[in-house]
A and B are shown apart, each in its own frame.
Chain A
Amino acid sequence: MVIDCKHVWDHISAYLDNDLAPEILKQVQEHLDHCEICSAILDSTRNILILTADERVFELPLGFSERLHARLDAEIRGMASSPPEGS
């Protein structure tokens, strides 16, 4: 069966996740082999997901971890009825 571009777009996400049923995968693959537009859409989407997963996109603010643990520490010590400090 021949499927059109719009039909292929419905499967982009599942295609990238290797989550397509074999018969649909075959149809999509055949379409991609001949359609440069759908191939470019797929490649750009894949490329974008590689970029968004890169740790450099979001940076923790300076001192974030120190402030978090200081606050947790205050809470933990406040809650302890007897100071646990052993080691």
Chain B
Amino acid sequence: MNAQPAAPASSAGKEALRIASILAGNTHEFHDLIRPHERSAYVMALSMLKNEADAEEVVQEAFLKAFRNLNSFRAESRFSTWLMSITLNEARNRLRHRNIIKIESLDHPPGDQENISPALLRDWREIPSETLERMEVRQILRRAIADLPPIYREVFVLRDVQELSVIEAAESLGISVASVKVRLHRARIMMQKMLAPQLKQFNPKRRWFSWL
């Protein structure tokens, strides 16, 4: 009986009102609707395409598509995950055209059955976030993400770069929550294996020597 959502002030509620308004003809409001999602769409496109110009174009195409198809958006899903799934599709299409991924890599992820082991360490000294001021550290992180096999990269970017919930990641990808968790686990172990040995050298303890 209560057709109105209980939390009108929530961002989801505002988004729903805005979408209704755009569909009613206030098309210029689309700019504000997508503004909070630009960055995450770009990061996803870039992670998949590994090329800034292609990623930018894919985001533009995806958002245009979202505008044209806004009337097919269903309020029971989140606008953010709807937009992300459009971006993912655009990026995948672009990849297919480029022929960079082989078709089977979508269905049979490489080494899905084998166990993945982490890099073994005896101790870990925290790498503080300030270390990201160094361009080489940012590059190392981006390269590791880019080196993940595509199905793991998608999940990792959604969950551990954009910090979506497992449910939102599942919605964006159109897969089950259980699949997200399995892929995420493998992605995280792969990242640890690639990155822990490389990042160790940026241990702050070493700063003592860097200015000598």
Q: Chain A interface (Cβ within 8 Å of chain B)?
A: 6, 9-10, 12-14, 16-17, 19, 36-37, 39-41, 43-45, 47-58, 60-61, 64-65, 67-69, 71-73, 75-76, 79-80, 84-85
Contacts and interface: CB of A to CB of B under 8 A. Distances in A.
B132 A72 contact: no
Closest 8 CB pairs of A and B: A13-B185, A40-B121, A43-B124, A40-B124, A44-B196, A44-B124, A45-B192, A56-B132
Interface in B160-210: 160-161, 163, 166, 181, 184-185, 188-189, 191-192, 195-196, 199
A50 B30 contact: no
B93 interface: no
Given A40-B124, A48-B192, A84-B28, A60 B199 contact: no
B166 to A, nearest CB: 7
Interface residues of B, number: 56
B188 A13 contact: yes
Q: Which secondary structure dominates where chain B touches chain A?
A: helix
Contacts of B189: 9, 12-13, 45
A34 B129 CA distance: 28
Contacts of A52: 141, 145, 156, 160-161, 191
Given A13-B181, A16-B188, A72-B30, A51 B132 contact: yes
B77 interface: no
A80 to B, nearest CB: 6
Given A19-B181, A57-B142, A41 B59 contact: no
Contact of B118 (A41, A49, A55, A61): A41
B89 interface: no
A43 B126 contact: yes
B138 interface: yes
A49 B43 CA distance: 16
